[in-house]
Amino acid sequence: MTVLEQTIQSISKTLNEDAFHAAKERLANQAKPAGSLGVMEDISARLAAIKGTIDVKLSNKRIVTCAGDHGVTQEGVSLFPSEVTPQMVYNFANNGASVNVIGKHAGAIVKAADLGVNHDFEPDLPIFHKKVRYGTANFTKEPAMTREEAILSIEAGIEIVNELDAETPVDLLGTGDMGIGNTTPSSAIIAAFSGIEVEKLTDRGTGIDDQALKNKIAVIKKGLSLHQPDPDDPIDVLSKVGGLEIGGIAGLVLGASARGIPVICDGFISTAGALIACELAPAAKKYLFASHKSVEMGHRFMHEKLGLDPLIDLKFRLGEGTGAAVCMELMDLSTRILADIKTFEEVGINDAQ
């Protein structure tokens, strides 16, 4: 049995129903109008079901920012050149990026992972060295990667979770991405799974103009037409029009789910990875939270496909794991709402509801 197969098989299809019902009962009887803290109550109950207790502690929060380059940038789909990808990986390693700053404020440790950057990093650079190949191929001419490479990228993400959890048990995992041009494969992935017109799923990424957007749409259509990715085969979709960092993110979701770790998914590219993971293992959805709604048009359709509602909408379009980092504070707060707000009985208020 492969690492991927074993991981998928290890994901529990049921959570702790006793803890979930205990959480719901406590929330209903707290000294406030029932349900008045809305989504925060839902988060807290879901976390209780995942962790098996109403007093959840999210002490060890980690964010993994998966990086990879994309051959499709040769088609002019991005405002920035691919050379920016390795430069940003160095920035992550030196704690100088947006996700490092926001993650630190949220009490999370951020670490980048090289899944497919077209650059040789020094072996001692403090990142996860998981390179599968030096970037994907240009999917307007050939598949982005082989099927075997797609599986390796997913298994690399699984390995990262296993390594982190073996070091210190992870309480909450956030996913992030870095890869110039990666909104193009992400739009292609949701198009392949949903059958929705590419025009409705494709946006400006790093800020391309109208002409470049038309070109980007045409590029995605060409790749989908050429390769005909099978929506019933997530590995086929990933290998033909996906990205190595997207595969790595899928592996993070699967690896965390198999270990009972809640995962908070970042933006458009991270959700493409989560979509691959949940198509492979639908049970992983039970462990998955959507952090925010990106300004990328296709993000809404990904959330609908996954059956998830994003927690916030701050008009983000950065990636890196920034939305996940912001929402880690909300996740932390939700655990205290459940455990620490007193019930009417505990404060001696009778017949309040």
Which residues are known catalytic residues? 320
Residue 319 region by backbone torsions, left for phi larger than 0, else alpha for psi between -120 and 50, else beta:
left
For the four alpha carbons of 302, 305, 311 and 313, in that order, the dihedral sign comes to positive
**Calpha distance 67→9 (Å, rounded):** 27
| CA separation for the pair 246, 204 (Å, rounded) | 19
The CA-CA-CA angle for residues 127, 92, 66, to 5°, reads 60
Interatomic CA distance for residues 70 and 135, integer angstroms: 5
Q: What is the DSSP letter of 222?
A: H
At 195, list the tokens. Answer: 């059958």
How many CB atoms within 10 Å of residue 134?
Answer: 14
- What is the spatial order of strands in the sheet that 108-116 belongs to? 128-129, 108-116, 61-68, 172-178, 263-265, 288-290
Sequence-ordered list of residues with C-beta below 8 angstroms from that of 186, at least 6 positions apart, any chain:
243, 246, 268, 269, 271, 272, 296, 298
- CA 63, CA 96: separation in Å to the nearest integer? 15
Which alpha helices (H) appear in 168-307, and where do they start and end? 183-194, 210-227, 234-241, 244-258, 268-280, 298-306
Cross-strand pairs, 66: 113, 177
Q: Which amino acid is at 273?
A: G
Residues 126, 74, 229, 252, Cα dihedral to 10°: 10
